[in-house]
Amino acid sequence: MSETTQPVERIHVPDLDAILGKAYPVLDDGFVRVIDYMGSDDAIVQAARISYGAGTKKVSEDRGLIRYLMRHWHTTPFEMCEIKLHVRVPMDIWRQWIRHRTASVNEYSTRYSVAIDAAQRTAPDAWRLQSADNKQGSAGTLDAETGAHLSTREQELHRLAVDVYQERLEKGVAREQARKDLPLSTYTEAYWKIDLHNLLHFLRLRMDDHAQYEIRCYAQTIGEQIVARWCPMAWEAFLDYRVDALQFSRIEAEIIEALTKEGPEAACARAEAFGLLKQGKNGLLRNRERTELEAKLQQLGLQPPWAAR
């Protein structure tokens, strides 16, 4: 048989095949499930090794090669793997999700079909307070009594929105217009197809502690329940070199080097030269780059040298 007509066997991942179509619940009425996939850890390795050309010896074990690719940001081999998910998600969270423009998407249309009769509900103890130092984040929760009141009001709002929507449909209003006052908490559904490289980028951002809680729930489900089964070696490398790794800028590296080699005063002098220690009337001015460096120092068991000043 000639080289151009050799049969190619489709890659199968038994652990992923076992959960095809299984809906993993997220939030109160959402889910994620795998519809189809292509490739696996083997496909990543196969794509990487073809770059060496015919006759090249195997340079490492598969796990070691995948870790090398992840560690050195060789992304193309990870694009050889694709997955198609069916997701059910609140519209406000879907707005964040769809900002990742690296997937093929087909969403449930409320122009053609009646809107999904479900909206994400908030438990009385789950109303989050606005963060004082992060305009797009939250910190802490409301007290139980206030939370219970807001949950009751939420239910009333949902019922009214659904009743008004149904009334419009019954009177013959076009679906495309009848839907306009539905709340953003209304669930939508979509098929979402993406390659592994771009999926891992999505997960790195949306699994982060700074991401909104609701989309973080979806990201963690996709990562821990699906990607970990589909490409376990790539998932392990992703956790080691992206999620749980520390990355230092040139400025941060120079300050840490000064701290460990020359001492606190040298580190402070370097930080001052980089503009991280500007003073205001009430002490150090807020500086996000300095705050991020302080968090990294604490992870390394080091105290920020300017804290003792």
Q: Which residues are catalytic?
A: 206
| Contact between 16 and 83 (Cβ < 8 Å) | no
CA distance 197 to 76: 8
| Contact between 131 and 137 (Cβ < 8 Å) | yes
CA distance 162 to 171: 14
The Cα diameter of the chain in Å comes to 81
For 195, residues 6+ apart whose C-beta sits below 8 A from its C-beta are 78, 79, 80, 81, 82, 102
Q: Return the H-helix or E-strand segment holding 227.
A: none
Q: Tell me the β-bridge partners of 36.
A: 84
- CA–CA distances in Å: residue 309 to residues 238, 255, 296, 299, 304: 39, 16, 19, 21, 10
